[in-house]
Amino acid sequence: MTGGEPHETSEGPARQSGRHVGGNPRWSGVPLAASLALVAFAIFFGIYGPRVGDRITAPLGIPAWDLGEAAAERFHERRNDAVHGAGAEKTTITDAERDAAALLGSSVRLPDLVADGWTVHTPKPVAVPGSARSVAVTFSRSLVGGVERVSLILVPDNEQYVVFSPFGRPLFLPPWEAYPIELPQDTIESAVALLWSDGSVVRVLVAGSEAVLSETAPAFLEASRPESLVTAPSSDDDAGKTSEPKAVEK
């Protein structure tokens, strides 16, 4: 019996050594291969991922509605200042065009609404999304019931604004297409706006009511057209009719 004990003891280490050298027969190289694949993918994505992402999701631009809402906010913020405060300096259309061009870095034409009782005020810089050089030109008119105001926001068009097709596809703001802006309506203050571009300058016309916007918008739209396309009636009989395009001398 004592002779068998050394025999069992000598076989134990041999079996353990055999299991250690031979390894576990149930072990597989799949987990290691999967881990290496994940590491390789992480390295690949870290190097090429941002570039691939840029190609797939190109920047779209700023929705034109954001510009319209910002223009309405500037209209409300400056309504008193532009007519009664420090920014209430009155000027002429010629001087307003000159001052707006100096602030904007691009020539602009403004409608002459003096005959309809409107006063133009000195253009002032304003802050709107998408441009560091934006200008507001305010017109005011005193009536029995109070003062009416309309503001024209001018922004250089660098194709930074987009509109969306019926299918949701983003499009750069098309020239000469006017878009009414649906603004949040407040119980105390409200505004309506019309936005369009001539290809070089984006314009947002903001008024306190639909009536004022409808009255003044045609004149602002006409003034924004190139001078070579501006039409003028040839006689009193032709007033209100569209004549052949004529160049207008200033």
Q: What is the pLDDT of residues 51-83, one digit of tens each?
A: 433 333 345 789 998 999 888 888 877 665 655
Picking from 160, 99, 100, the residue whose alpha carbon sits closest to that of residue 128 is 160
Q: If you average pLDDT over residues 101-123, what whole number do you get? A: 92
Tell me how far apart the alpha carbons of residues 199 and 183 are, in angstroms, rounded to a whole number. Answer: 24
The pLDDT value given to residue 89: 84
What's the whole-model pTM score? 0.65
pLDDT in tens, 8-33: 444 454 444 444 445 555 556 666 66
Query: What does the block give as tokens for 101?
Result: 């061009």
**Token pair 């009782």: residue:** 117
The pLDDT value given to residue 171: 85
List Cβ neighbours of 231 (8 Å cut-off, separation of 6 or more): 242, 243, 244, 245, 246
pLDDT in tens, 202-250: 999 999 889 999 999 999 999 998 764 444 434 344 433 333 333 223 2
Q: If you average pLDDT over residues 136-145, what whole number do you get? A: 88
Indicate the SS3 state at residue 182.
coil
The pLDDT value given to residue 233: 38
For 52-157, list the strands marked E by DSSP: 62-63, 119-120, 124-128, 131-143, 146-156
The pLDDT value given to residue 72: 87
pLDDT in tens, 155-212: 999 999 998 888 888 888 888 899 998 776 664 567 899 999 999 999 999 998 899 9
